[in-house]
Amino acid sequence: MACGAAYRRPGRVKVLFVAESPPWAAGGQEVSSPPDCKRPDYPYFWNDRYDTLHRRAVAPLSGRLAENLFWLLGLDGGSRRENLELFTGKEFFLVDTVKCVFRKNRKAAIPADLIRVSAREVLAIEIAGLAPEYVVAIGNTALAGLREIEPYASALAGVGKITETHPGDLFEEHHLLCVPYPGGHNRRYLDQIVSVFERIRDLV
């Protein structure tokens, strides 16, 4: 677990968020080595130094993934570091489907083969070790990854896009939720995203 995630892992994980992959750029430049994850301009979720330049979303879904998640979860710390402490304090945790940095400036979509291998060989073991009570797939890459892992593959049989999932059935029967990526390009799904996070907030 990179960039300080391991030492922030709660002893018990109630809700595990599964995201896509680490960001490929910091300050408009490609990241190239592990130390980059602590750059103050690198927006990786677990980078607690990022708040030196950026603090929080000022409007719904206007920030980076971390700030948007904090807003949706009602976390109101004064910095990225404080919100990460609040996040793990509620027994939340977040992992990526694909662990490597995928350079989306060169190819927009992560290849299906990479998602499949990452999910089967790394993510499946990670989820088993964390043993979360609930799992939340954030976006279509996470959805594709969970389709490679049981028991989620069976639960998601017949589901196409992330917007086609039925929160009630998955939540009650499989302790699984799927939500469109909470970013500015998905503001048209804001009501759906908020409703999913209301269920999550009710858990704690």
Q: How does pLDDT run across 31-83, given as a tens digit for each residue?
A: 766 667 778 888 888 888 886 455 555 678 888 899 999 999 999 888 888 99
pLDDT of residue 73: 96
Across the chain, mean pLDDT equals 86
Is the whole-model pTM more than 0.85? yes
pLDDT of residue 55: 52
pLDDT of residue 134: 96
For the segment(s) 12-23+59-203, the CATH number from 3.30.160.270, 1.10.340.30, 3.40.50.10210, 3.40.470.10 is: 3.40.470.10
3 state DSSP class of 168: helix
Under the phi-then-psi rule, with left for phi > 0, alpha for psi from -120 to 50, and beta for the rest, what region is 3?
left
Poorest-pLDDT segment among 19-23, 87-91, 140-144: 19-23
pLDDT of residue 113: 94
Per the CB < 8 A criterion, the answer to whether 143 and 157 are in contact is no
pLDDT of residue 57: 55
For 164-174, write each residue's pLDDT tens digit.
776 667 888 88
Largest CA distance in the chain: 44
Provide the token pair at 130.
């964390």
Q: How many CB atoms sit inside 10 A of residue 175's CB?
A: 17
Angstrom distances, CA of residue 4 to CA of 44, 67, 155, 158, 174: 11, 17, 32, 37, 30
Query: Which regions of 64-182 does DSSP assign to beta strands (E)?
Result: 92-96, 134-138, 176-179
What share of the chain in percent tops pLDDT 70?
89
3 state DSSP class of 41: coil
Per the CB < 8 A criterion, the answer to whether 183 and 61 are in contact is yes
Greater confidence, 92 or 9? 92
pLDDT of residue 136: 96
Does residue 152 carry a pLDDT above 70? yes
Per the CB < 8 A criterion, the answer to whether 149 and 120 are in contact is yes
pLDDT of residue 167: 61
pLDDT of residue 53: 52
Report the alpha-carbon distance of residue 191 to residue 175 in Å, rounded: 21
DSSP 101: P
Cis amide linkage into residue 167, ω under 30° from 0: no
pLDDT of residue 90: 96
Give mean pLDDT, residues 179-198: 92
Poorest-pLDDT segment among 42-51, 85-94, 159-168, 189-198: 159-168
Does residue 199 carry a pLDDT above 80? yes
Give mean pLDDT, residues 176-200: 92
